[in-house]
Amino acid sequence: MAGFRAVVALGVAVLAVSALAGCTSSPPVPMPTTSTATPTPTPTPSLGPTMVPNGTAEQEKPFFDLVNAKLIGANGSANGRDIVDNLVASGFAKADMQVTPDKTAIGGTVDSILFSVKIGGECLLGQRSGAGYASSVQKALANGTCLVGKTRPIDW
């Protein structure tokens, strides 16, 4: 009987080896993972300077410059009314403005137009000329105005 057991054991061993020979190992299948990374926010484009509520002349200057540079860049011969209307449309108070005339005393075209917006005791001063646009912040004059000399009425 010992021989019979040996034959059976040998047969079982052969069957086991044969069964395992058909099996091949395959590379492990990666498991899906979930991302826990925080999405990067899209940067908000800078819209440039804006009007500062109750701001000082110095605080308002970047916005004043932006508004005027855009107008004068698009229309290098903008007249006083164009400039004042543009400032009003941008939020500056017309009652606080002054502008020099568009014409000389004999009806010719002026070389430059000066304009201002008074904010508190200071003035935003702008100039449109053949050289382009320039600006500054200055203290108001002793009489409370911003421009020296003849200005035109802003009555429209």
- At 50 the three-state DSSP class reads coil
DSSP assignment, residue 79? -
User: For residue 76, is pLDDT > 60?
Assistant: yes
pLDDT level of residue 11 (50, 70, 90 thresholds): very low
Confidence band of 38 (pLDDT split at 50, 70, 90): low
Name the domain count of the chain: 1
Q: What is the pLDDT of residues 60-75, one digit of tens each?
A: 999 999 999 999 999 9
Instruction: Classify residue 27: in a domain, yes or no.
Output: no
Query: Mean pLDDT over all residues of the chain?
Result: 83
Q: Decide if 134 is inside a domain.
A: yes
Q: What is the mean pLDDT of residues 131-135?
A: 95
Beta-bridge partners for 77: none
Cβ contacts of residue 116 below 8 Å, gap of 6+? 97, 98, 99, 123, 124, 125, 126, 146, 147
Report d(CA 80, CA 59) in Å as an integer: 24
What is the extent of the structural domain holding 77?
57-139
Within a domain: residue 16?
Answer: no
Report the C-alpha dihedral over residues 94, 100, 104, 110, rounded to 10 degrees. Answer: -100
Closest Cα to residue 116, out of 89, 135, 143, 90?
135
% the chain with pLDDT above 70: 71
Q: Is residue 99 assigned to a domain?
A: yes
Give me the torsion for CA of 102, 62, 45, 43, rounded to 10°: 180
Going by pLDDT thresholds of 50, 70 and 90, the confidence category of residue 137 is: very high
Strand partners, 98: 116
Is residue 47 very low, low, confident or very high in pLDDT (cuts 50, 70, 90)?
confident
